[in-house]
Structure 1
Amino acid sequence: MSPPPRRPVTWYYRGPDVAVTNQYLIVGSARYEVAELQALGTVRGPFHPAVLISTVIAIAQTPIVIPVVAMVMAPLAILLATILLVVPCVVAIVSARRWPPRFDLQARYRGTTLVLFSSRDDREFGQVTRALRRAVEALPLR
């Protein structure tokens, strides 16, 4: 019996740690057959704790600080209120940029749901996800 005919390899994405061909998704040392991937999906991970905590602080301080400033109306009170409200907002924005949430590419592979690929870089994640979807769509019908 002769081996099945080999399909030519089509590269959909090739990066330093990830590659997507018409046959395989290769992530580091792991290799997944594209034909056996089912239920592809993406999940966005949680925000960094600094983002959540500083946002909660800003929201919690607002209903307290604004009425106090409205009653006092002193320049020092306005300055302190501004600092109290701006600092947590700046911390939240800087933290969100420095530690963006992780994106996970999930699929069912040989009966088990797995995280196939993770990245905090939304551009790389989008490229890998699109490449894998194109590879799955290009599979011959079974």
Structure 2
Amino acid sequence: MRLYYRGPDAMVTSEHFVHRTPTSTRAFLIRDLRDVGITSAEEPGTPIVTLAGGTAILLAAALPLWKISPLYAIGFLGLAGFGLAAAALVRRNRPRSWLLQATYRGQTVELYASTDARVFNQVSRALRRAIEDARPPSSWDDFAAA
């Protein structure tokens, strides 16, 4: 059995992919993995929906101030706009979460997830090598030496 990667939360061998979490350990047979792919855990529409909702709440809060004094409403919206911009920048700079997904025995499963890009790339590269090495040799390989 060949070892491709061994870390604190994952292990890839020529026969198994093992993912360890603090609560469980999941093992998958390499030969039963199909359609392995990398995806991002982020939903693309979430920041836009959050920003639109925050803007609607701010406008609703500024309406009573507008009736008292338009200057107060403009000042409030200006300060709140800086707050929304700061929140958007903080959200943008947080680490991105990556997922390894596959079809395992007819079901879509999440094999591995990480926010550390270096470790995630090592695990995904090891899994790719294990899958490539597990393929049966093609008939063209027999003629390569001739």
TM-score (normalizing by structure 2): 0.61
Q: How does 1:16-35 map to 2 (within 5 A)?
A: 16-28=8-20, 29-35=25-31
Counterpart selection for 2:132 from 134, 137, 141: 137
The corresponding residue for 2:61 is none
Change (3 A) 1:48 1:95: farther
Residues 92-134 of structure 1: CA deviation (Å, up to 9, x unaligned): 1212334x45322111112222111122333322221122112
Unaligned runs of 5+ in 2: 59-73, 138-146
**How far is the alpha carbon of 1:86 from its aligned partner?**
3.5
- 2-structure distance, mates of 1:53, 1:121: 27
Looking at structure 1, the residues matched to 27 and 108 of structure 2 have their Cα atoms a distance apart, in angstroms, of 15
Counterpart of 2:3?
A: 10
Which residues of 2 match residues 102-141 of structure 1 at below 5 A?
102-141=97-136
Letter in 1 for 2:2: V
1:138 alignment partner, SS class: helix
> Which contiguous aligned blocks of 4+ residues in structure 1 show a shift greater than 3 angstroms?
47-61, 79-86
User: Counterparts of 1:46 and 1:140 in 2: how far apart (Å)?
Assistant: 32
Q: 1:123 to 1:109 in 2, by over 3 A?
A: same
Q: What's the TM-score once normalised by structure 1's chain length? A: 0.62
| CA-based RMSD | 3.4
In structure 1, list runs of 5 or more residues that go unmatched.
1-7, 62-76
1:43-101 residue CA offsets vs partner (Å, 9 max, x unmatched): 2123599854664479889xxxxxxxxxxxxxxx7x87764444322211212334x45
Match of 2:7, as an amino acid? G
- State the aligned residue count: 120
